């Protein structure tokens, strides 16, 4: 018998176990019939899968007495919280946030520390020490950590947990696997990719109709993150497969040939007009070839925003230039991928009132927008919550897939 034929029944079982884990992840606690309805699996198949997952220790059952205490108790299945743990690392320009989550998605611990000075080697040493402290504080053994999920702005290697370019280290690559203990697996994602995935998850949970359908069962959206860096994530879901999420290098896409100097070393990038350092530079009419500051406190940008809202010409112009660069970039996105709703997130979302006119003017230069109309633009202020949700979604998808392959 061919190998493929031998393996196909087990592959189907793995896929079905993954379906059950995904349903429990979405609904938390479910009865047998609810799992069957949610997954489309036969009752006997659900019984076999829940038995496999219970034996593996990944799920547990609880009983709820019926009203009045009569009849058989109702059996509910849910993730077993102490099956294992997930560590999250969110890297910002000036700080690093660490979180510990149990297998059911419950936040157990969190702390933030300033990002230390020095190159990638010292940076990874700092992360390694912080992960040890995270586990020690909650008395978690090393072998109980199922996955480390890290995120940063910048370019991420699609195959390895390596940051290829970042606002902090530039072209010095950062290999996160070198900061991990033996046996620990690490997942690295672009931060705005996680934001786009979380927004799509919210849309799917709410059953909202705002996301433009490509055809029945398929939807898409974009997340535009504003701040020290400029990030973009695109999420696309369909009824026939998992959500596809991309993080194109939007901030360093060309906006104006030979224009302002960007932190990446090129001239004329979108970020060189729309990042915090660009707004600061333009507000004070600093020459466009001035080496950008690595980090601009948001309080300094707040001061420029106050002046702009009071009508100061150069401050108004700085935000308008930022909006135009963002709008021009989004117009190219829509020309390539078609119209879709755009969600504005990040620290810079607080200045949306100052960016809006320029952003819409930049978008209006697109032929697609002139014909089809302006895409829906929505400000979502709480980006940290989206980043956290995106971490959980991506990381638990990896963890559950591994469990589905080993249970049984």
* Per-residue model confidence as pLDDT tens digits over 7-56: 588 888 899 999 999 889 888 889 999 999 988 899 999 999 999 999 99
Average pLDDT over residues 106-129: 94
- Residue 213's pLDDT band (cuts 50, 70, 90): very low
Domain-terminating residue out of 79, 111, 130: 79
pLDDT at 6 over 50: no
CA distance 388 to 87: 11
pLDDT at 356 over 50: yes
Per the structure, the complete domain to which residue 327 belongs is given by 197-385
Same domain assignment for residues 145 and 273: no
Same domain assignment for residues 36 and 67: yes
Average model confidence (pLDDT) across the chain: 90
CA distance 246 to 66: 47
Same domain assignment for residues 137 and 217: no
Q: The whole model's pTM is what?
A: 0.90
Q: Is residue 179 part of a domain?
A: yes
Same domain assignment for residues 68 and 24: yes
Same domain assignment for residues 305 and 166: no
Cα within 13 Å of Cα(272), Cβ side: 24
CA distance 231 to 251: 6
pLDDT at 157: 94
pLDDT at 212 over 60: no
CA distance 206 to 58: 27
pLDDT at 229 over 90: yes
Name the nearest CA neighbour of 148 among 317, 348, 391, 383. 391
Same domain assignment for residues 249 and 380: yes
pLDDT at 240: 65
pLDDT at 248: 92
Find the range with the poorest average confidence among 1-5, 323-327, 367-371: 1-5
Give yes or no for a contact between 27 and 38, defined as CB atoms under 8 angstroms apart. yes
What is the number of structural domains in the chain?
A: 3
Average pLDDT over residues 317-344: 95
Domain-terminating residue out of 136, 159, 184: 184
pLDDT at 9: 81
- CATH number, domain with residue 36: 1.10.10.10
Q: Is residue 354 part of a domain?
A: yes
Average pLDDT over residues 232-257: 89
- Encoded tokens for 135: 């586990």
Same domain assignment for residues 39 and 72: yes
Same domain assignment for residues 136 and 249: no
- Encoded tokens for 326: 């963002």
Domain-terminating residue out of 184, 215, 244: 184
Same domain assignment for residues 376 and 322: yes
pLDDT at 215 over 60: no
- CATH number, domain with residue 152: 3.30.420.40
State how far the alpha carbon of 74 is from the alpha carbons of 18, 32, 65, in Å. Answer: 24, 9, 6
């Amino acid at each position: 018998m061919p190998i493929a034929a031998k393996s196909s029944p087990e592959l189907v079982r793995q896929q079905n176990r993954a379906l059950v884990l995904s349903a429990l992840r979405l609904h938390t606690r479910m009865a047998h019939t609810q799992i069957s309805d949610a997954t489309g699996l036969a009752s006997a198949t659900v019984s076999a899968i829940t038995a496999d997952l219970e034996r593996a220790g990944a799920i547990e059952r609880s009983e709820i007495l019926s009203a009045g205490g009569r009849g058989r108790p109702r059996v509910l299945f849910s993730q077993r919280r102490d099956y294992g743990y997930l560590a999250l690392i969110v890297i910002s320009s000036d700080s690093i946030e660490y979180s510990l989550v149990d297998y059911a998605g419950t936040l157990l611990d969190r702390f933030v520390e300033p990002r230390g000075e020095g190159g990638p080697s010292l940076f990874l040493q700092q992360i390694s020490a912080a992960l040890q402290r995270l586990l020690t504080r909650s008395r978690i053994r090393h072998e109980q950590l199922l996955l480390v999920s890290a995120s940063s702005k910048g370019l991420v290697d699609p195959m390895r947990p390596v940051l290829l370019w970042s606002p902090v280290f530039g072209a010095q690559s950062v290999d996160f696997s070198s900061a991990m203990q033996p046996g620990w697996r690490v997942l690295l994602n672009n931060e705005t990719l996680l934001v786009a995935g979380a927004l799509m998850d919210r849309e799917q949970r709410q059953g909202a109709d705002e996301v433009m359908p490509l055809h029945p069962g398929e939807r898409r959206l974009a997340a535009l993150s504003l701040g020290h860096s400029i990030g973009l994530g695109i999420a696309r879901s369909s009824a026939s497969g998992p959500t596809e999420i991309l993080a194109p290098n939007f901030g360093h896409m060309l906006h104006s040939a030979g224009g302002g100097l960007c932190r990446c070393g090129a001239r004329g990038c979108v970020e060189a007009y729309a990042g915090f350092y660009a707004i600061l530079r333009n507000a004070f009419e600093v020459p466009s070839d001035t080496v950008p500051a690595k980090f601009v406190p948001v309080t300094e940008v707040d001061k420029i925003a106050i002046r702009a809202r009071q009508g100061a010409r150069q401050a108004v112009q700085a935000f308008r230039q930022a909006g135009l660069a963002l709008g021009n970039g989004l117009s190219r996105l829509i020309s390539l991928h078609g119209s879709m709703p755009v969600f504005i997130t990040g620290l810079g979302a607080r200045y949306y009132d100052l960016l809006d006119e320029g952003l819409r003017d930049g978008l209006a230069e697109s032929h697609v927008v002139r014909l089809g109309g302006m895409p829906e633009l929505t400000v979502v202020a709480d980006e940290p919550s989206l980043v956290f949700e995106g971490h959980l979604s991506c990381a638990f998808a990896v963890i559950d897939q591994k469990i589905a392959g080993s249970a049984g």
